[in-house]
């Protein structure tokens, strides 16, 4: 990756609801771009994308509740609850409005936020595309969702060594490039005894994963801002036909293909940055 390293700030704050939030900030002239990670992800996984964007956005990337160095309070861990956190974050750091882009969990939060707080959002980017289960919650799709939640509950969280943790990541995430796995190992694990442990609460993450069966079409129908489905060209999660059908649920949505698989922010950050810049140029008028 040849993009230039961009200076960022590592910050913490406590929201009025008591949630402690850890986030990263890459200052820039604007517009504001808020990046939201997927389930079991972490805010810093967007740093290569922020680098590739240069200084053309003021970028924020959060560790969302239950993840990273943010709090892990009781709650339902639905997209609605995460969207409430996001509004409080906007208010706490002084964001009037922003483009929100997220993958998986982060994309669900962006979809709900756009519908509930239209005055706060300029556009939504769904990195990797939305989950079909949130638009076609059939029995078969629901079984897949519950299976994902169960696998998270059963997943190991502590490892006797860094090497053991890396071996687990490589088996659990076979499509990820080694560079991405090494980044995850460095920034989403902490020392634990003589080994390491994950930096997310697997129970909270599993609860959040179960919400992939929630029907989000009612939120899509209410959203008025531009929406980009940023679909990985090699992804098995979302075909181009499915992407176009789901795009029809919004008033103003487009499908943008980006070379790569699902985790575009890790495997093709330059391509994702280019897609975001092109989308923003048309979506943001002020």
pLDDT tens for 219-275 read: 999 999 999 999 999 988 899 999 999 999 999 999 999 999 999 999 999 999 999
Query: What integer is the mean pLDDT of 130-137?
Result: 96
From residue 232, give the alpha-carbon distance in Å to each of 146, 193, 214, 261. 24, 39, 23, 5
Determine the Cα–Cα distance for residues 234 and 252; give it in Å rounded to an integer.
Answer: 25
CATH annotation of 9-136+211-283: 3.40.50.1820
- Among all chains, which residue has been given the structure tokens 């969702």? 145
pLDDT tens for 49-81 read: 999 999 889 999 999 999 999 999 999 999 999
DSSP string of 243-277?
Answer: HHHHHTTSSSEEEEEESSSS-HHHH-HHHHHHHHH
pLDDT tens for 151-205 read: 999 999 999 999 999 999 999 999 999 999 999 999 999 999 999 999 999 999 9
| Domain residue extents for the chain | 9-136+211-283
- 248 burial type by CB count under 10 A (0-12 exposed, 13-18 middle, 19+ buried): exposed
CA end-to-end distance (rounded Å), the chain: 32
Return the pLDDT at 3.
61
DSSP β-bridge partners for residue 222: none
């Amino acid at each position: 990756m040849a993009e230039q390293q961009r200076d960022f700030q590592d910050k913490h704050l406590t929201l009025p609801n008591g949630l402690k939030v850890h986030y990263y900030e890459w200052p820039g002239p604007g517009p504001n771009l808020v990046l939201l990670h997927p389930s079991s992800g972490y805010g810093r996984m967007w740093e290569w994308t922020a680098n590739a964007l240069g200084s053309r956005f003021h970028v924020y990337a959060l560790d969302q509740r239950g993840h990273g160095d943010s709090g892990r309070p009781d709650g339902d861990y639905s997209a609605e609850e995460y969207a409430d956190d996001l509004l409080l974050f906007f208010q706490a750091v002084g964001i009037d409005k922003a483009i929100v882009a997220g993958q998986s969990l982060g994309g669900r939060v962006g979809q709900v936020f756009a519908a509930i707080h239209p005055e706060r959002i300029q556009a939504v980017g769904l990195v990797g595309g939305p989950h079909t289960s949130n638009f076609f919650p059939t029995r078969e799709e629901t079984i897949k969702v519950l299976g994902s939640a169960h696998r998270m509950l059963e997943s190991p969280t502590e490892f006797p060594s860094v090497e053991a943790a890396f071996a687990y990541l490589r088996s659990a995430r076979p499509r990820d490039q080694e560079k991405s796995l090494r980044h995850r190992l460095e920034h989403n694990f902490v020392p634990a005894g003589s080994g390491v442990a994950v930096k997310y609460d697997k129970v909270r993450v599993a609860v959040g994963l179960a919400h992939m069966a929630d029907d989000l079409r009612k939120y899509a129908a209410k959203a008025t801002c531009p929406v980009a489905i940023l679909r990985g060209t090699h992804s098995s999660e979302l075909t181009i036909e499915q992407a176009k059908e789901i795009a029809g649920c919004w008033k103003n949505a487009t499908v943008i293909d980006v070379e790569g698989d699902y985790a575009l922010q890790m495997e093709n950050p330059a391509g994702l940055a280019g897609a975001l810049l092109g989308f923003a140029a048309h979506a943001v008028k002020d």
